Amino acid sequence: MVRSKRALITGVTGQDGAYLAKFLLKKGYTVYGTFRRASTPNFWRLSYLDITRDINYIPADLIDTPSLVEALKISRPDEVYHLAAQSYVGTSFDQPLTSGEFTGLAVTRMLESIRQNDPQIKFYQASSSEIYGKVSTSSQNEKSPFQPQSPYAAAKLYGYWITKMYREGYGIHASNGILFNHESPIRGLEFVTRKITNAVARIKLGLQKKLNLGYLESLRDWGYAPEYVEGMWKILQQKKSDDYVLATGEAHTVKEFADVAFSHVGLNWKNYVKEDKRLYRILEVKTLKGDPTKARRELNWKPKTSFRELVKLMVDKDLERWKGWQKGERFPWDAINYIDEEKTLFRTPS
């Protein structure tokens, strides 16, 4: 009897971890997921995708190497998808040392644990378009220069290079997925896309009046997260490990995102959005647009969901959630975890 493939996902409770777990389960994998033990567990995304009971959970901490080794021993994985990190750029300016530990050095801890315990494991490192930073080209591919503009990006770049070093120095099947922005209805509310769609829903329903945003002219390459986790999987199915950009090849401004989102519910964004310079980053990354040519050629991967389709499906889901809340329904979502939602959530729905 041939055993099913086994995968270990660090950060299984995040957006990408949840979608990847669902994708791998459909592929017949036995899925293990690490999570950081906390006083209030955060499994709402897995519950939203209806896979909470299908995953084998392992408590682990990215700064505790023995717990990572234990996770490998318990899961005995064929593939490790290292997605866990401090993943918000803004927070990295407030907590630069924490970002370095969890987003950068943790990659080495994971790779070293693999090297010493089972170097045949295939390793995927979740890199980021933020490593390109202050770009000098209209689009970025695997050979474009890096100029990170945040502690998060610097830590991700460290993770990128250490992954290449373990690949070339120790022969580990270790690959980087340089993913450009990818969004979904289970994106965290601290990210600008979900911040916009959540506010649009609340404003449409009379629960909010205004939306403050940072730099409106930021250009980003936005895709749909479930399609990107398939790309992660395809990267580890290659005989030879390598680095790949996953992106749509299109860039749109934050202003465009807001325009499409508000228009979808019959509102004019200009009547509700205010640009707030206090929300600017210390160092702004003005433009990021990926060139996924290599992924199309070697992985046969390409995004399917258009920018407008992505915005609309996110708005629709947030509208559905807030309408459900108004009816007194109970369902898994994240608004309850955010201070800004408190005044609405903890009063009786009208």
186-233: pLDDT as tens digits: 999 999 999 999 999 999 999 999 999 999 999 999 999 999 999 999
Q: Does the active-site annotation cover 298?
A: no
Q: Which two tokens stand for residue 271?
A: 């009547």
Q: Does the active-site annotation cover 184?
A: no
Exposure of 348 by Cβ count < 10 A (0-12 exposed, 13-18 middle, 19+ buried)?
exposed
Full-model pTM: 0.95
* Biggest CA pair distance of the chain: 63
Q: What is the dihedral of CA 135, 140, 143, 146, to 10 degrees?
A: 30
Check 130, 183, 227, 256 and give the catalytic one.
130
CB 146 within 8 A of CB 131: yes
What are the phi and psi torsion angles at 260 (to 5°)? Answer: -65, -40
Collapse the DSSP code of 288 into the 3-class scheme (helix H, G, I; strand E, B; otherwise coil) and give the result.
Answer: coil
Domains of the chain: 6-182+222-246 (3.40.50.720), 189-221+250-288+306-345 (3.90.25.10)
Which residue in 182, 130, 165 sits closest to 151, CA to CA?
130
Check 87, 127, 128, 139 and give the catalytic one.
128
Check 81, 124, 132, 152 and give the catalytic one.
152
The helix (H) or strand (E) run that includes residue 69 is helix 65-75
Q: Does the active-site annotation cover 338?
A: no
Question: Do β-strands 252-253 and 219-220 pair in parallel, antiparallel, or remain unpaired?
Answer: antiparallel
CB 237 within 8 A of CB 79: no
Output the DSSP codes for 201-236: HHHHTTS---EEES-TT-EE--EEHHHHHHHHHHHH
End-to-end CA distance of the chain: 58
74-100: pLDDT as tens digits: 999 999 999 998 776 767 767 778 888
271-321: pLDDT as tens digits: 999 999 888 888 889 999 999 999 999 999 999 999 999 999 999 999 999
